[in-house]
Structure 1
Amino acid sequence: MKEIREKLQLVNNEYTKKSTVAVLYAIIASVALNVFWRPGNIYASGVTGIAQIVTSVMERMTGSEPPVSIIYYLLNFPLFILAWKQISKKFTIFTAVTVTLTTIAIQLMPVTPLTTDPIICAVFGGAVNGFGIGFALKNGISSGGLDIVSITIRKLTGRTVGSIAIIVNGSIALTAGYLFGWPYAFYSVLSFFVSGKVTDAVFTKQQKLQVMIITKEPDKVIESVQERLRRGITIIHDAEGAYDHGEKTVLLTVITRFELHVFEEAMMESDPKAFVSIADNVQILGNFYDPGM
């Protein structure tokens, strides 16, 4: 019973943490969109930018602008189905919660132009959005959109396809130029660049982490970790605990910070009582599989 209570407590803590992060991300994303991008006629990247395009085109065709929040949610909905089938139900639920909260925040947040200068709107909108995305990813949640497509491709092929983001974001920039004038295409590209740089600075996706696991259930841990991550594991047998002199096994591996939350899930499932030590900023010589390459 104690083990069950401890496991339930860990799950509740995880859900509380991720729910809080989802709320904060939703607020940050709505500020980027309604305070900077929309007042400056700057388009966001990914699904948010596509939603802006749809609303702009429909306004020109019908004279009435549909809520960008509703378009944003409708564009994400088929991606939920893809995530449910190809990634995991847990991932899909958290992503759906994040997208739903973001939709609500965008709808409730009024368009508040602090300035209409397109360069300022592009830079600050990109910086605010990049911080929100990096913060969300660092805490193990996805903002939906193209993230789902990228993760699906990575799971199926072991590789990411950066050309998808390039094609989508390039099309968004060209549309911005066509609708508002070609300088706005460059302003949107500037915003993409700033957002990406800030995301990397906050998230540090490629930061390597050295993991040492001391466990009594090595087979379960290895199976669970390798089922989720494409990582080699070194096994050191016949380790002995100084406290109880029990036989243990030491497992060594290296992951990226991007994979940390997946690794934590694997450990919770396989051996929540294992001792795990994680060291930051390790330097790797030799072969290290990078799914982003």
Structure 2
Amino acid sequence: MYFTEVKKVIIVIIGAFLNAIAMNLFLIPADVYASGFTGAAQLLSRLIGSFAPFNLSTGILLLLLNIPVTIIAWKRVGKSFTIYSFLSVVLMSLFLEIIPIKHVSPDILLNAVFGGVIAAVGVGITLKYGASTGGMDIIAMLLSRMKDRPVGTYFFMLNAIIIVTAGSLYGWEKALYTLVTLYASTRVIDAIHTRHEKLTAMIITKKSAELKKAIHAKLVRGITMLPAKGAFSNENRDIIMIVITRYELYDLERTIREVDPEAFTNIMETAAIFGSFRKD
């Protein structure tokens, strides 16, 4: 358990560092905007610098934007996920203040692509180990715990506001390069973790009762039990079917390994669901 937590902290540090590198060496110098709360902080920083008599850095604004959602997540989602997510935000804000902003390349397209890819690697590995980079990821987890709502709509709306505002005030060319960054980020996160909002897990196990109890203790999700028999061994087993969000994949994998390391699990992307998504 101690080794797992240390590894998780190291991954969060690496993810935050990669995100800061992407911002200060690629996106900010090229005036290309990131997605989500990071892009919102970047745009607000520029707006304040343009219209106010003082400046606030992207790192400080990113931290301030995440404080309200972190407080809500602490009460509604869970302490472990919230602590690691806020740690990621704090470290990224710190790295954004420490790493100097400098041009690596004068080419806007290269900055958009490499900034998006490097940031996505940071986000992807952080999600893979059960944390998040804050902002919209925390909101997505909150919504998944409360009601089954389409999180993608909120991502789209926030990113659309960033692009339209930046384009209107500072020119459309650089603002539209944000779309290139978003595309590159999405493809890389797909490869490392998953951008699919919902996943179906089919778990074949001999310890169905213990595993069902452990999953219910960790996740607020309904479970369907199906009888099964091994074709080669003729042994009776059970199939546990559960639909989860991508934010819960790490917790599910960890629970399965702890209860039944020999269980066979198949994770499938889920296009849509109908009916109750939560545990009654």
Question: Into which bin does the TM-score normalised by the smaller protein fall?
Answer: 0.7 to 0.9
Deviations 1:215-246 (A, max 9, x none): 2xx4443133245153533255999xx9xxxx
Partners of 2:9 and 2:153 lie apart in 1 by: 31
1:83–1:63 CA distance, 2 compared to 1 (3 A): same
Letter in 2 for 1:68: T
1:135–1:288 CA distance, 2 compared to 1 (3 A): farther
| Structure 1 residue aligned with 2:263 | 277
Asked whether the equivalents of residues 41 and 180 of structure 1 are also in contact (C-alpha less than 8 Å), the reply is no
Deviations 1:84-114 (A, max 9, x none): 1111111111111111111111111111211
Query: Please, which of 81, 87, 104 is the counterpart of residue 91 of structure 1?
Result: 81
Partners of 1:162 and 1:12 lie apart in 2 by: 35
Partners of 1:283 and 1:93 lie apart in 2 by: 28
Alignment of 1:223-234 (within 5 A): 223-226=213-216, 228=219, 230-234=221-225
The 10-residue stretch of structure 1 (188-197 or 69-78) with the greater mean CA deviation from structure 2:
188-197
Partners of 1:283 and 1:91 lie apart in 2 by: 23
1:273–1:117 CA distance, 2 compared to 1 (3 A): closer
Partners of 2:194 and 2:9 lie apart in 1 by: 22
Alignment of 1:1-293 (within 5 A): 11-206=1-196, 209-215=201-207, 218-226=208-216, 228=219, 230-234=221-225, 236=227, 250-253=238-241, 258=246, 259-267=248-256, 272-280=258-266
Identity of aligned residues (%): 26
Question: Structure 1 unaligned runs (5+)?
Answer: 1-10, 243-247
Instruction: Give the TM-score normalised by structure 2.
Output: 0.83
1:48–1:150 CA distance, 2 compared to 1 (3 A): same
- Helix, strand or coil: the match of 1:233? strand
Instruction: Give the TM-score normalised by structure 1.
Output: 0.80
Partners of 1:106 and 1:71 lie apart in 2 by: 11
Partners of 2:195 and 2:204 lie apart in 1 by: 20
Letter in 2 for 1:24: I
1:277–1:224 CA distance, 2 compared to 1 (3 A): closer
- Helix, strand or coil: the match of 1:99? helix
Task: For residue 79 of structure 1, report the CA deviation from its aligned partner.
Answer: 1.0
Task: For residue 274 of structure 1, report the CA deviation from its aligned partner.
Answer: 3.1
Asked whether the equivalents of residues 211 and 259 of structure 2 are also in contact (C-alpha less than 8 Å), the reply is no
Task: For residue 254 of structure 1, report the CA deviation from its aligned partner.
Answer: 5.6
Task: For residue 117 of structure 1, report the CA deviation from its aligned partner.
Answer: 2.3
Partners of 1:280 and 1:265 lie apart in 2 by: 14
Asked whether the equivalents of residues 31 and 109 of structure 1 are also in contact (C-alpha less than 8 Å), the reply is yes
Task: For residue 205 of structure 1, report the CA deviation from its aligned partner.
Answer: 4.5
Partners of 1:70 and 1:52 lie apart in 2 by: 10
The 10-residue stretch of structure 1 (186-195 or 36-45) with the greater mean CA deviation from structure 2:
186-195
Q: Which of 1 and 2 has greater Rg?
A: 1
Task: For residue 131 of structure 1, report the CA deviation from its aligned partner.
Answer: 1.8
Question: Structure 2 unaligned runs (5+)?
Answer: none
Task: For residue 19 of structure 1, report the CA deviation from its aligned partner.
Answer: 0.3
- Helix, strand or coil: the match of 2:130? coil
Task: For residue 65 of structure 1, report the CA deviation from its aligned partner.
Answer: 2.7
Deviations 1:137-193 (A, max 9, x none): 122211110011111111111233322111110010112212321112211122112
1:132–1:177 CA distance, 2 compared to 1 (3 A): same
Letter in 2 for 1:234: M
Letter in 1 for 2:263: S
Partners of 1:283 and 1:57 lie apart in 2 by: 40
Task: For residue 16 of structure 1, report the CA deviation from its aligned partner.
Answer: 1.0
Letter in 1 for 2:206: I
Between the two proteins, the alignment pairs up a number of residues equal to 269
Deviations 1:187-225 (A, max 9, x none): 11221122112211221354765422332xx44431332
